Every structure is written in C-alpha cells, then in structure tokens.
C-alpha cells in the first residue's frame, strides 16, 4: 500500500514492484487480494483519494467516490488541506498498527461534533467508528504488535495441507493454503521442517518476519534451517511451538483452517476418483483413465485458427501440460485440417521424445473429427490410446451431448459423473482455445501493414506515419508523394505503394 507525497492531498494506491517513488510504503502483503481488501476498508474509514494526479488536477467538482462516501473530495478545491492531512495521519497510524489511537481519535471527533450540535457529522464519525471496530475484530487485533508467520499442518491419507497465516504489525493481513504429498512418509515435525525449507529458501525471497509459529511443537534440528534463513534475509529468527494469548488464537485459527482445507481436498479427490471409475465402467476400460487429453479448434470465419490441448490427471486439470497450436497452411475454416495438424504435431513429438501417451483422447466434435483422430494416430503407429468424440447435440445444451467411440454413437446418461467429467474437459478445452484465438487475432489486427515491407524499419515507419497521419493516408498517397518523405527512395516508394495497394 502506497501513500504519495503530494503536498496537499496525498493519494492512497495499490503498489507492486520497486519502491522507486517518494512517499510512504506499507507491506509487503501476502497477496494482491489482501491489499485490495485493505484499501477498500481504508477508503471507507479515512476517505483518501485514489485517483491519478492527472485526473485530480483537471477536476473542479467531486467525483462519484465522494458521493458514495469513499473520498473527502479534495478536487473541489474548497476542502481544508488541514482536515485532509489529519485523515492521512490517521490512515498512516492505522497502517502502522496503532489502531487503538485511531479509535480514540474517532471517538474524540464524534464527541466534538455532537457537542457542537453537528449531529449529521457526529453520525458519520459514529459509523466510521463502528466500521473500524469491525475491521479490528476481523483482523484479531487485541493490543498486540509485531510481525509473525503462523504455519499449521494437517495430514491424512498421505495428503497434507499447511495453512499459512501472515501477521504484520499485529494485524492478520491474509492467509494461504499449501497442499503437499507426503510420499516419503515423513513424520509431522520433519514434514513441517521440509516445508519451511522450501518456503523460505527454495523460491524467490518472501517477506520473512523475525518469528515463525508452528503447530507441531518445537521442531527438532531447526538450527541449520534458522541459520540459513538468517543468512539469506539478514535478520534474527526464532521458531516457536508453544505460544499464548493472541499468538495462540492465531495458531488455533490456522489449525482449524488447515483441517477444513484438508477435508475439502480429500472430499474433492474422492469425488474425482468416483468420476473416473464411472467413466471407466461406461467405456469398459481395463483401468480408470488417469490421464486424459482433450482437443478443440477455435477461429473466427477461418481467421487466426488455434487448436488447444488440455490435460487432466487423476480427474483434475494439469495446467502445466496445457498446449496451444497456432494453425497455418490450412484452408480457412477447415476444422478437419486444423485438427489433423494439431494432433500430428502433438503425438509425433510425444512419440519422438518417448513420453507417456494419454489413456484417453477426447475430441470436441462428431464422427468427422473422430475419423481424423483415428487416421492421425494410425499414421503415427500409435494404437494404445482410447479415442472418443463429444459434440453438443441438436439442442446445443449441457446434458444433451452426443458421444462417439469408433465411429459409433454411444449412450451416456446426462447428469452422470462420467458425463460431468467429459463436459468439464470439453468446456476447459473450449475456453483455452478461445483465449488463444482471441490473443492471436488481436495481435494480427494490431499489426501494421508496413511491418512486412522489406527495407521499412521502425524509424521509416514512424516518418511515414508522421507525414501522412495514418496507414489510411499512406494507402491514399501516390509514389511521388511517398518520395517526399525523408529516407524513402524510388525503390522503397514503389515497394510501399505496391504493398499497401
């Protein structure tokens, strides 16, 4: 959170990156959402402006933010700078963790307004006082201070969740859940030790406090870990297991959230397993299809064709394996040709690299697309993949899909677990393809016709555009007019004229 150094009316802003502007910075916060949530509360409590200076300097009356009670309206030029400065000071105190002093200041202002018979103003201070008390309750502030990271571990069935709670200046700024696979069957203390090593040492530097509270007592053999963290972050560090008062409440909250997240994760995993078993029975497979790949084609009347490949492992999206294929060399609008090219590129690379093939290949389309997929895999000599097609059906509504295997339509009950999984795969492939298509189409439409002309670099393009005002102006120019632009020879003028016309 950044408060600028504007002489009269500083602004309150979200900031990411280097602290290269003069002003006051607060944080870092554990996530962007926690920053936005804090700024949302600050706007209600202190009503500092968040508009850009260029916008602020060109206004003569307050904007909508003032009308809804989230800005004091300094752009009206009628506001007392001293009143705004007081609001900035209170916001700074709040961000520094001195919320009790801010509470007293709100009470004092409310009583002063009431004594002066300014009852509407007193009511405003009363509402802001109530809002501040709610914020304090939500952030578990009870006359505490300091920076602490709290980590709680919950483990069951080889799965573990570590819940992180991040406290700065006595306020809980946010929390984050980390899912772990305990494949080495480590005990809880060792698992927590490994997590802390990964979190503080094996990734980019994070905001490391001086105290870390953990849920499984004093971890054994923490000396080397503490030394390594202290050396990396150049600060003293202590890891605590037994805590009291506010820290005990934070730890209890982290433990409860870890257990809830673990239960939710295990329930979701069981649900995904049930979907795979239902799909196995429906397709009469020897084993559940643990890896499924789905392809879809997206274009706008043949423009900027993109094929997508999404991958699900154990019934869940494996985003790191997603792939897009920019299709070229095919006739515009030829979905069969685009699908053939994408499948050939995908499975030829897998065959050459020796990677594992998917258990099930799902194609968004009917019998025609399914025939293309069979043809490609037959040409590549791949016969271990089960292939299936899914189309929207006549009504094009969810639950009315048509399914094809080996060129024949099969029946899958709408609303079954298997149909839900297949629809989820198809929808994800469709989303991924459309996103890629729109990006490619946007890049193509934003590209200037001049960029493909040999001999016309960025400097000459700039001179042409400055001289004629736009690409349209260049298209309307004759070769003689093009010659008047500095640096444009007869040969270039003829080339430009022929290309743009």
pLDDT of 447: 64
pLDDT at 321: 92
Residue given tokens 């002489």 in the structure block: 7
- Closest to 102 in 3D by CA, of 125, 72, 68: 125
Report pLDDT digits (tens) over 435-488: 998 888 887 766 666 776 778 888 888 888 888 877 778 888 888 888 888 888
Q: What percent of the chain has pLDDT over 90?
A: 27
- Spatial CB neighbours of 93, under 8 Å, sequence gap ≥ 6: 99, 101, 102
Question: Given a cut of 60, is residue 139 above it in pLDDT?
Answer: no
Q: Give the whole-angstrom CA distance, residue 169 versus residue 209.
A: 11
Rounded to an integer, the average pLDDT of 393-417 is 81
CB 138 within 8 A of CB 99: no
DSSP string, 463-495: HHHHHHSSHHHHHT--HHHHTTSTT--HHHHHH
End-to-end CA distance of the chain: 53
Pair 74, 51: CB distance under 8 Å? no
Burial code of 195-207, b = ≥16 C-beta within 10 A, e = fewer?
A: bbeebbeeeeeee
Q: How many C-beta atoms surround the C-beta of residue 358 within 10 A?
A: 23
**Residue 448 region, left (φ>0) first, then alpha (ψ -120 to 50), else beta?**
beta
Distance CA 145, CA 136 (A): 13
pLDDT level of residue 137 (50, 70, 90 thresholds)? low
Mean pLDDT for 93-99 is 79
CB of 210 closer than 8 Å to CB of 169? no
Any idea which of 194-198, 243-247, 318-322, 380-384 has the lowest mean pLDDT?
243-247
Continuous segment of H or E residues that includes residue 279: helix 245-283
Confidence of residue 346 (pLDDT cuts 50, 70, 90): very high
- What is the average per-residue pLDDT within 142-153? 74
Least confident of 57-66, 102-111, 211-220, 374-383: 211-220
Query: SS3 of 23, please?
Result: strand
Task: Tell whether omega for the bond before 334 is within 30 degrees of 0, i.e. cis.
Answer: no
Binned at pLDDT 50, 70 and 90, residue 331 comes out as: confident
pLDDT band at 143 (very low <50, low <70, confident <90, very high): very low
- Note the pLDDT tens digit of each residue in 248-263: 888 999 999 999 999 9
pLDDT tens by residue, 308-325: 999 999 888 999 999 999
Whether the Cβ atoms of residue 364 and residue 331 lie closer than 8 Å to each other? no
Most confident of 30-34, 134-138, 322-326, 350-354: 322-326
Q: Which of 49-53, 378-382, 390-394 has the lowest mean pLDDT?
A: 390-394
Q: What are the CA-CA distances from residue 274 to residues 58, 283, 318, 389 (Å)?
A: 61, 14, 18, 21
pLDDT at 138 over 70: no
Per-residue model confidence as pLDDT tens digits over 214-243: 987 556 678 888 899 888 888 888 888 888
Per-residue pLDDT at 299 exceeds 80: yes
Looking up tokens 């795979």 gives 276
How far apart are the C-alpha atoms of 50 and 12, rounded to whole Å?
A: 5
pTM over 0.75: no
- Please give the pLDDT value at position 145: 56
| Radius of gyration in angstroms for the set of CA atoms belonging to the chain, rounded to a whole number | 31
Cα→Cα distances 365→35, 78, 123, 426, Å: 44, 65, 63, 10
Residue 236: which residues within 8 A CB-CB, separation 6 or more?
210, 230
Question: Span 429-434, mean pLDDT?
Answer: 93
- What value does the mean pLDDT of the chain take? 85
């Amino acid at each position: 959170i950044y408060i600028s150094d504007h002489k009269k009316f500083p602004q309150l802003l979200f900031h990411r990156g280097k602290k290269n502007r003069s002003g006051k910075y607060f944080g870092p916060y554990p996530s962007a959402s926690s920053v936005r949530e804090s700024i949302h509360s600050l706007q209600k409590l202190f009503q500092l402006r968040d508009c850009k200076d260029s916008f602020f300097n060109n206004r003569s009356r307050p904007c909508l933010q003032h009308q809804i009670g989230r800005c004091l309206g300094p752009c009206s030029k009628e506001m007392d700078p001293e009143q705004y400065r007081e609001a900035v000071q209170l916001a700074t105190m709040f961000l520094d963790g001195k919320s009790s002093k801010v509470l007293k200041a709100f009470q004092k202002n409310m009583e002063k307004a009431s004594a002066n018979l300014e009852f509407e103003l007193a009511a405003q201070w009363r509402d802001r006082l109530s809002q501040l008390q709610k914020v304090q309750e939500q952030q578990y502030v009870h006359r505490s201070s300091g920076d602490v990271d709290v980590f709680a571990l919950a483990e069951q069935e080889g799965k573990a969740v570590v819940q992180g709670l991040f406290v700065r200046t006595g306020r809980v700024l946010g929390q984050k859940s980390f899912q772990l696979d305990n494949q080495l069957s480590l005990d809880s203390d060792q698992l927590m030790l490994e997590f802390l090593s990964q979190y503080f040492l094996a990734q980019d530097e994070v905001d490391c406090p001086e105290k870390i509270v953990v849920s499984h007592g004093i971890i054994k053999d923490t000396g080397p870990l503490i030394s390594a963290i202290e050396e990396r972050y150049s600060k003293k560090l202590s890891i605590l297991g037994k805590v009291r008062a506010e820290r005990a409440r934070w730890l209890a909250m982290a433990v409860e959230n870890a257990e809830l997240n673990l239960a939710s994760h295990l329930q979701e995993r069981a649900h995904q397993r049930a979907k795979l078993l239902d799909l196995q029975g429906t397709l009469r497979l020897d084993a559940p299809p643990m890896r499924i790949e789905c392809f879809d084609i997206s274009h706008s009347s043949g423009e900027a064709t993109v094929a997508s490949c999404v991958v699900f492992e154990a019934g869940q999206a494996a985003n790191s394996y997603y792939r897009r294929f920019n299709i070229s060399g095919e006739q515009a609008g030829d979905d069969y040709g685009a699908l053939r090219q994408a499948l050939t590129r995908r499975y030829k690379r897998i065959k050459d690299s020796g990677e594992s093939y998917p258990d099930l290949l799902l194609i968004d389309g009917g019998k025609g697309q399914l025939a293309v997929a069979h043809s490609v895999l037959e040409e590549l000599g791949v016969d271990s993949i089960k292939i299936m097609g899914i189309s929207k059906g006549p009504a094009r509504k969810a639950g009315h899909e048509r399914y094809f295997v080996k060129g024949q339509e099969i029946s899958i009950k709408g609303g079954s677990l298997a149909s839900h999984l297949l629809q989820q795969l198809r929808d994800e492939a469709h989303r991924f393809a459309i996103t890629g298509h729109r990006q490619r189409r946007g890049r193509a439409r934003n590209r200037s016709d001049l960029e493909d002309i040999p001999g016309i670099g960025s400097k000459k393009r700039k001179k042409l555009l400055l001289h004629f005002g736009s690409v349209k102006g260049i298209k309307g120019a004759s070769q003689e007019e093009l010659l008047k632009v500095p640096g444009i020879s007869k040969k270039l003028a003829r080339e430009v004229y022929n290309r743009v016309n």
